[in-house]
Amino acid sequence: MKKIKVGIIGCGSIADIAHFPSIDKYPETELVAVCDTDKKRAMQAAMKWNAKKYFTSYTEIFDKSDLDAVVIATPNALHYEQALAAAEAGVHLLIEKPLAVTNKQAWDIVESCKKAKVKLMVGCDRRFWLQNEYAKQLIGEGYIGKPVMGYASQYQHFFYYQDQLAKTDFRLKPELAGAAAIIDMGAHAIDLIIWLMGSEVKRVTGIPESYTPLDDAVWILMEHKNGMTSCVTVNRFSPVVTQTTGVYGTDGTIMTSSDATNPFQASPLAVYTNKDYEEDELPDIIKKYRYPEIWWAEDRVKHPIDKRWVSVYPPRESNYERMWKHFIECIIEDKQPRVSGEDGAKALEVMCGTFQSMETNGWVDLPLKNEVLMPHYAKAIKK
C-alpha cells in the first residue's frame, strides 16, 4: 500500500509530544519533511524522526517535497497563511488548535480547503480520549435522556506547559498567540462541550479577565440552537490542574476528566441515570464497569436494577495516536474528520464573540457579521 507522505511545519513541543511519535507508529504514514524557522531544531527533528528533508521556510516544504498531508503546529497567528499555502499545494491538513486567530481567517481556511478538495482537521484531541468517546456514545443512546445543560472547565497555571514542555515562548506574545486562556485551553473546552451537547452555538456572552499582557481567566455562557445552555471556564493561574466536563440530561448526568484527577473527580468518567434498566438492557460500556456493591447477583435479582453512579476507567491509550489513526482513515477512506474545519471555525466564533460581548455588554449572536480581532492581538499587530 502506498504510504501517506507527511510533512510537519513547526518542530516545537506539540510536534514532539503528539505528531512525530504518532506518524512513526503507523505503517500507513511516512515523515518525509519537517520545517522550523530554527534551523538547528528542524535539523535535529529530521535526524531524530528520520525525515528525508528539513527546511526553515514553509514555502519550501511545499515546493521541494512531495507531500500528501501536512501538520501545521506553529504559533497561532501563523496558521492562516500556512494553511492557505497547504490548500493551494493540494495537501491534506491537520492544524493544531486554534484553527486561526480570527473568525474570518478560520472561514477562509475552510473555504480554501473545500475548493482544493483536501481534508481539513483541527487538532482538538480531547474528542479522542476514550472517556469522552464513551460519554458521546452514551448521550447519543439516550442514557441520560435529553441533554439540557453542560459545562467544561480547565484551570492550569501557564508554567505547567511553558516551563516544562514548551520550546518557545510564543504563548506569552499577543502578536503570535492571539490570546491565552480562551484560545489555548479554551479551544479544547469549547470544542468538547459543543460536541457532547450535539448542537451549535446560537449566541454567546462572556468575561475574559487579564492579569498579564494576555487573558488569564475566562467565563463563557453559550446558548445552543436547540435551546440548551452550556458554560466554559478556564484560567491559567491555578497552581494545581483541575479539568472536568459535564452534561446534565433530563434522566441523568455524565462527568468526564482527562487532564487530571482529584478527590472530587476521581474517575475519568462517572455516569448516573434515573431510567429503569434490567441488567441485560444496560449499554455495554456500563455493563463492563458496574461492579456489585453488596453481592455479585444483585443486578440479576432486582427488577429494575438499583439506580447509582457508575465509575468508568477506560484503558489509558494515547489520544494523539488515536487522533492520528482517525486522520489516516479519513484520507484513505475519504471520510469527514471528526473535528472538521467547520468545527474549528465555529469554536473561533465563540472565542471572538466572547470578546465582542465585552464591548456590547450583552449577548452576541453567531455567526458573527464582521471579522473580530481579539483585543491583545489587535493592539500588538498595530505597534
DSSP string for 102-136: BHHHHHHHHHHHHHHT--EEE--GGGGSHHHHHHH
pLDDT of residue 266: 87
pLDDT of residue 212: 80
pLDDT of residue 150: 98
- Whether 158 shows a pLDDT value over 90: the answer reads no
Q: What is the mean pLDDT of residues 61-74?
A: 97
Q: What burial class does residue 56 get, using C-beta atoms within 10 Å of its C-beta: 0-12 exposed, 13-18 middle, 19+ buried?
A: middle
Grade residue 265 by pLDDT with cuts at 50, 70 and 90. confident
d(CA 327, CA 334): 10
Q: Which residue's entry shows cell 480547503?
A: 113
Grade residue 1 by pLDDT with cuts at 50, 70 and 90. low
**Model-level pTM greater than 0.75?**
yes
d(CA 95, CA 92): 10
Grade residue 18 by pLDDT with cuts at 50, 70 and 90. very high
Tens digit of each residue's pLDDT (9 = 90 or more) over 198-226? 999 999 999 988 878 898 999 999 999 99
Tens digit of each residue's pLDDT (9 = 90 or more) over 271-296? 999 999 999 999 999 999 999 999 99
pLDDT of residue 298: 96
Tens digit of each residue's pLDDT (9 = 90 or more) over 174-191? 999 999 999 999 999 999
CATH of region 127-318? 3.30.360.10
pLDDT of residue 142: 98
Kindly indicate whether the domain formed by 4-126+321-338 is annotated with CATH number 3.40.50.300.
Answer: no
d(CA 324, CA 335): 13
Average pLDDT value for the chain: 96
In the chain, the largest separation of any two C-alpha atoms, in whole Å, equals 73
Tens digit of each residue's pLDDT (9 = 90 or more) over 225-254? 999 999 999 999 999 999 999 999 999 999
Residues 6+ apart with CB under 8 A from 184: 171, 177, 236
pLDDT of residue 353: 98
Q: Which sequence spans correspond to the domains of the chain?
A: 4-126+321-338, 127-318
Give the percent of the chain with pLDDT over 70: 99
pLDDT of residue 216: 92
Distances (CA, A) of 221 to 190, 201, 350: 10, 10, 10
pLDDT of residue 329: 98
